[in-house]
Each structure stands twice: as C-alpha cells, then as structure tokens.
Amino acid sequence: MSHTVPKLATEYERPDHVTERDWYRLLSAERRRELLDVFDDRSGPLALDSLAAEIATRDDELDAADDAVLTRVASSLHHVHLPKLHDAGVVEYDPDSRRIES
C-alpha cells in the first residue's frame, strides 16, 4: 500500500462561509483532511462504509481488509469528523442513510 499524505491546510480551498480560524480548526485533524482528499478525487455522494474503506487504503497503518479497522474508521467519521464538517457546511452528511456529499 502507498501512503497518501493529505495536503497542508493552506492547500485546501476554504468555503466563503467558513472563517479562516474555523477552517484551520476543521483542518487540524488529519482524518478530516484525508476525508476532503477523498472527495477531491471523486464526484457524487459516498456511503460511509465506502469512505471508511477509501481512507483505510490510503493510510499505510490501516488494513482495509480488517473489519475492525473499517469499523473504527467508520465510527470516528460518523461520530466526530463528519458532524463537524457538516455543521460547518463543508459536506452534507445524513447520519440515517450514512451518505456523504461534498
């Protein structure tokens, strides 16, 4: 597996409605930068499980074939990272359908 390094916070285009301070706060977590990188490479909505698998395959330390790893990544996305990005209006996340759109 090859490790994909997320861009630096300054390399992401900040949405107009997000303050610079909030943008840097959102991008302070590498997992959120990885998530945004996935959406840079794709168009259209993604299922949470697909997003978790994509992030796991991009990280050398994670084995996407391991169900425990996928569950852990999906859980952190669902409970922590996606709600923060959704609340800031950066992504649309429906926790009931577990679908994400950028």
Q: What is the pLDDT of residue 13?
A: 87
d(CA 10, CA 3): 20
Domain locations along the chain = 20-101
CA 50: distance to chain centroid?
11
**Which residues are bridge partners to 99 per DSSP?**
47, 94
Q: What is the mean pLDDT of each run of 10 residues along the chain (102 residues)?
A: 59 90 93 92 91 85 77 96 97 97 90
**Which residues are bridge partners to 101 per DSSP?**
92
Q: What is the pLDDT of residue 1?
A: 41
d(CA 27, CA 7): 10
Q: What is the pLDDT of residue 45?
A: 94
Residues 64 and 56 sit within 8 Å (Cβ to Cβ): yes
Q: What is the pLDDT of residue 94?
A: 97
Q: What is the pLDDT of residue 62?
A: 66
